[in-house]
């Protein structure tokens, strides 16, 4: 029978140590029996940790790896196996706050509107484009707001209609300037009509 590869023994050793309910640990320097994490020898009187070291000794002789290196590699392997690679559809939204507040005279129904706006995008690269073109977006939004009726903007439906018009407008402007709509959503974070 051919000798089993070191990687198979390593995987078997890890599985045995972890299934036994204790973390891999080194034996005492005097060669005494190691104990489980509860301080008692495991079933059968033989320590899983001791079995782990005994199984690692042949691999240690073949590869030159000592117990501390193996534990470091095991920790790295566990960390790598639990990390989730970022997928394109799994990104977090990014926000850009248009500063300072937008203030515009209203066409009717009030004197002026003051609001704070934040753009949301799911594409991190779009944040730089939004920031670059913020003066153009600001101008277009001010023109849109100055055409509004203050009485309508004091209702929830009026605010939502303005928000939808602003989203459509900013997407159109960004499409013309960059070739991409860039803005996924727009939020009023402060809104005041007088």
Which residues have C-beta within 8 Å of that of residue 140, sequence separation ≥ 6?
A: 169, 170, 173
Least confident of 68-82, 112-126, 134-148, 153-167: 68-82
pLDDT 10s digits, 91-138: 799 999 999 999 999 988 889 999 999 999 999 899 999 999 999 999
Crossing angle of the two packed helices 156-178 and 124-132, in degrees rounded to 10:
90
Question: Which long-range contacts (C-beta less than 8 Å, at least 24 apart) are formed by 2-8?
Answer: 6/59, 6/62, 6/63
Segment 59-86 shows an average pLDDT of 59
Model confidence at 55, pLDDT cuts 50, 70, 90, reads very low
**pLDDT > 90 fraction of the chain, expressed in percent and rounded:** 48
CATH number, span 91-193: 3.30.479.30
Q: Nearest CA to 102 among 93, 121, 115?
A: 115
Model confidence at 81, pLDDT cuts 50, 70, 90, reads low
Q: What's the CA gap between 47 and 50, in Å, rounded?
A: 5
Distance, first Cα to last Cα, the chain? 89
Return the domain boundaries, the chain: 6-82, 91-193
Q: Residue 150 above 60 pLDDT?
A: yes
Tokens of 33: 């029996």
The predicted structure's pLDDT at residue 109: 82
């Amino acid at each position: 029978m051919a000798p089993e590869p070191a990687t198979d023994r390593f995987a078997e050793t890890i599985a045995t140590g972890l299934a036994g309910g204790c973390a891999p640990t080194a034996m005492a320097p005097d060669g005494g029996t190691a104990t489980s994490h509860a301080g008692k020898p495991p079933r059968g009187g033989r320590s899983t940790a001791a079995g782990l070291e005994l199984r690692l000794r042949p691999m240690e002789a073949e590869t030159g790896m000592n117990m501390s290196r193996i534990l470091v590699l095991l920790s790295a392997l566990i960390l790598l196996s639990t990390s989730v690679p970022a997928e394109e559809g799994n990104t977090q939204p990014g926000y850009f706050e248009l500063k300072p507040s937008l203030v515009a005279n209203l066409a009717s129904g009030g004197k002026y509107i003051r609001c704070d706006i934040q753009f949301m995008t799911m594409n991190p690269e779009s944040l730089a484009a939004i920031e670059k073109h913020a003066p153009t977006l600001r101008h277009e939004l001010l023109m849109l707001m100055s055409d509004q009726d203050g009485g309508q903007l004091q209702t929830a439906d009026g605010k939502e209609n303005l928000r939808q018009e602003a989203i459509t407008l900013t997407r159109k402007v960004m499409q013309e300037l960059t070739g991409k709509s860039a803005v996924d959503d727009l939020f009023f974070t402060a809104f005041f009509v007088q």
